[in-house]
Chain A
Amino acid sequence: MLLARNLKIAIDSIRSAKWRSLLTMLGIIIGVVSVVTTVSIGEGVKTQVKDQITRLGPDLITIRPGKVVNRDTAGHVSSVNLFPSAGTAAFNESDWKAMQNTPGLRAVVPFNVVTGVPSTTERSMDNSFIVGATTNVPEVLNHKVEFGEFFNEGDVNKRVAVIGKRVAEQLFAENVPIGKIMEIRGQQFVVRGVFEEFATSPLTTNTDYNTAVFIPYETSKHISNNQVQIYQVLAKPIDPVAVNGVTDALHQSILTARAGQDDFTILKQDENLAIANNILTLLTGLIAGIAAISLIVGGIGIMNIMLVSVTERTREIGIRKAVGATNKQIMSQFLVEAAVLSLVGGIIGVVISILANYMLRIFTSLQPVITVPITLVAITVALVVGIVFGVTPALRAARKDPIHALRYE
């Protein structure tokens, strides 16, 4: 009852000063938009990362040099090192051989980085990367070669290459450059195949295989003076259900090969996903937290305008008191007004966020996801901010001396 009447008073007073009210709400609107948008971008990236990881197959095992994660005694990932120690050496050939000889694995593919910029007579592409790998790459990446084929057992020493979509476009300016020649470290390579487009996820450091040039492992060793720098090994178990046992065996083999040095990481896909999620949650949380500051600023804006409003309406307060309004009734009138201001600001903010969402989907590769909980949380937080910052002005209004208030011009 009282609330309904105060709502009406609040809406009247907001409508009677539309522009000012809008400017007051601006802080809240901006706050809500930035929080909702960052969180929804974060959510979107998470789904994209999840898609990407599931596409690689849940049984994929990733082996990396360096301690990417720390594990507790039960073997669960307890924390993630965003910057694993740079000094750790890449795997060498004997490490890889040890992995390959571990029982229970059907494909163990080394990713040997070759420094160099691939080029043709017309163009070069310096944002690509060259990987020496074995013939099972399509199997471990769970990905098809769209045109041509991947190099096979008969090609191990040949100068052939299978490239990603971007490489085809940027280096050859065509979609199917099969049989075309490219030059790597002064050697000529024939394009054998072009991979299907790899799904990418923005904001993550996951490798974009669309810019990769795969060449046979032996050849890669050859053109880089037998220097081997394996930055990752991807493996698939024979029995997908037995992943855990296999990783333990792998651990033992590598430990032996590296003379007891436990400076590598074996990750299963679910762990990869968990890590990516962790990092993303941390990041979006951080950004959303910064964005939330603008909500506070919005609250201060509301307080400011409400204080002005209370002063301007001193006489009104006096009149209301003279006809019998109690301090509590005056207080709730102004509190409701602050709450309505911030609530309306919150709702406008959510509407703008939804529009921004569509824009991002149309004009960027981001796929933000606005969920109902996040909008509810944003609106609730806006409301709470309005009420909290409305208390001071409302108290000031309630405590006005009726006589002074009535005399106020």
Chain B
Amino acid sequence: MPVIALEEVSKLYGFGDATTVALDEITLNIEPGEFVAVMGPSGSGKSTLMNIIGLLDRPTHGIYELNGRSVSRLRPNQSAKARRDTIGFVFQSFNLLPRLNVLENVALPLAYKGMLHSRRLKRAADMLERVGLGDREYFMPRQLSGGQAQRVAIARALVNNPHILIADEPTGNLDSAASRLVMELLSDIHKSGTTILMVTHNPELTRYATRVVFMHDGSIVADEQSEIGDIPKLARKTHYSIPKTTEEDDLAGVSALMQAIPEKDEAQKKAVKKKKPKAKIFRPRATKRGKR
């Protein structure tokens, strides 16, 4: 049974003429233990997808089942609890609370669970040990490097033993050395059985993933299994196509990246659906009007 099962999930913003389709009838199943890398140009709906899977947001249409339970219509209170107990978040901007020290930051989710103070700090300390920051317990977030801050954030995401770890561009603010450390950590966590969803713009990082999903204009345009250690074909293509952009492409903005987006047939079997004509990808951003 998949941990995450999305069926024709859509997310619309605004209404009338100003409607933006951030997610366009996405169907996606994720099995336990997968490490899914989500790629795609800016505005393609990656974060929106992560937020819906992470129960921070609700789909406008469609069905979302988490661990076999329908969660598309949870009340805020219920989704907060589900979030607390099953999902860990890692953000690009770390999102540590500046006024709490490292240990308290890591212990935060446990506090909302109602765990006793001493037990909570003990668990948080163990978690910090695991991310290699056992000696930084009483540092304040501002005293950490970016890489350290992100590892603290990961410790916080893991402290509740979540089934799923969602990381939205976790290395987006880090240099390559720090990125590597963070990725090794995620890889460890993956090996211990946690399902991971990670948004990234860096094709190199797909080496750690077991599956790569490509998004464009709110749809999944390609979905490819990959061996750990390999960069999937499509991701590599994305990467290496960048230097080949022409001046016209620059004028078209994001279009340069998009040229690397595979044709439907090329993306074959796993590609979920793609109803859009190729020309469409040259539209600026993902703003589509009056589509529905």
Contacts and interface: CB of A to CB of B under 8 A. Distances in A.
A316 B114 contact: no
Contacts of B76: 326-327
Contacts of B91: 322, 406
B111 interface: yes
A241 interface: no
Given A2-B114, A402-B56, A406-B95, A324 B77 contact: no
A2 B89 CA distance: 23
A122 to B, nearest CB: 75
Interface in B80-100: 80-81, 83-85, 89, 91, 95-97, 99
Interface in A310-345: 315-316, 318-329
Contacts of A1: 114, 116
Interface residues on A, range: 20 to 34
Contacts of A5: 111, 117
Contact of A403 (B56, B111, B156): B56
Contact of A328 (B51, B57, B77, B111): B77
Interface string B232-266: 00000000000000000000000000000000000
Given A16-B99, A316-B97, A328-B77, A323 B109 contact: yes
Contacts of B84: 323-325
B99 A324 contact: no
A357 B166 CA distance: 61
Interface string B130-174: 000000000000000000000000001000100000000000000
Contacts of A326: 76-77, 80-81, 112
B189 to A, nearest CB: 17
A327 B77 contact: yes
Contact of B113 (A4, A322, A324, A403): A324
A323 B156 contact: yes
A319 B97 contact: yes
A323 B89 contact: yes
Nearest to A319: B95
Nearest to A1: B114
A134 to B, nearest CB: 80
Nearest to A4: B117
B95 A327 contact: no
Contacts of A227: none
A13 interface: yes
Nearest to B75: A327
Interface string B101-129: 00000001101111011000000000000
Given A12-B99, A16-B99, A323 B56 contact: no
Contacts of B111: 5
Contact of A323 (B51, B112, B114, B116): B112
Contact of B57 (A316, A329, A403): A403
A322 B81 contact: no
Contacts of A323: 83-84, 89, 108-109, 112, 156
A17 to B, nearest CB: 11
Interface in A74-128: none
Contacts of B97: 316, 319-320
Contacts of A403: 51, 56-57
Given A12-B99, A406-B95, A324 B85 contact: yes
A322 B89 contact: yes
B79 to A, nearest CB: 9
A327 B81 CA distance: 10
Nearest to B114: A1
Contacts of A12: 99
A325 B112 contact: yes
Contact of A324 (B57, B81, B95, B116): B81
A348 B77 CA distance: 38
A12 B104 CA distance: 13
B158 to A, nearest CB: 11
Given A1-B114, A2-B114, A402-B56, A321 B95 contact: no
A316 B156 CA distance: 15
B112 A324 contact: yes
Nearest to B51: A403
A406 B99 CA distance: 17
Contacts of A320: 97, 108, 112
Interface string A370-404: 00000000000000000000000000000000110
A2 B120 CA distance: 13
B123 to A, nearest CB: 14
Interface string A254-293: 0000000000000000000000000000000000000000
Nearest to B85: A324
Nearest to B162: A324
Nearest to B115: A1
A328 B114 CA distance: 13
Max chain B Cβ within 10 angstroms of own Cβ: one of A321, A323, A329? A323
Interface string B61-74: 00000000000000
Interface of A: 1-2, 4-5, 12-13, 16, 315-316, 318-329, 402-403, 406
24 contacts: A5-B117, A12-B99, A16-B99, A315-B95, A321-B83, A322-B54, A322-B56, A322-B83, A322-B91, A323-B89, A323-B108, A323-B112, A324-B80, A324-B83, A324-B85, A324-B109, A324-B113, A326-B76, A326-B80, A326-B112, A327-B80, A329-B112, A402-B57, A403-B56
Given A325-B80, A406-B95, 7 more contacts: A5-B117, A316-B97, A319-B96, A320-B112, A323-B156, A327-B77, A403-B56
* 5 tightest A-B CB contacts, nearest first: A324-B84, A326-B80, A323-B109, A402-B56, A324-B112
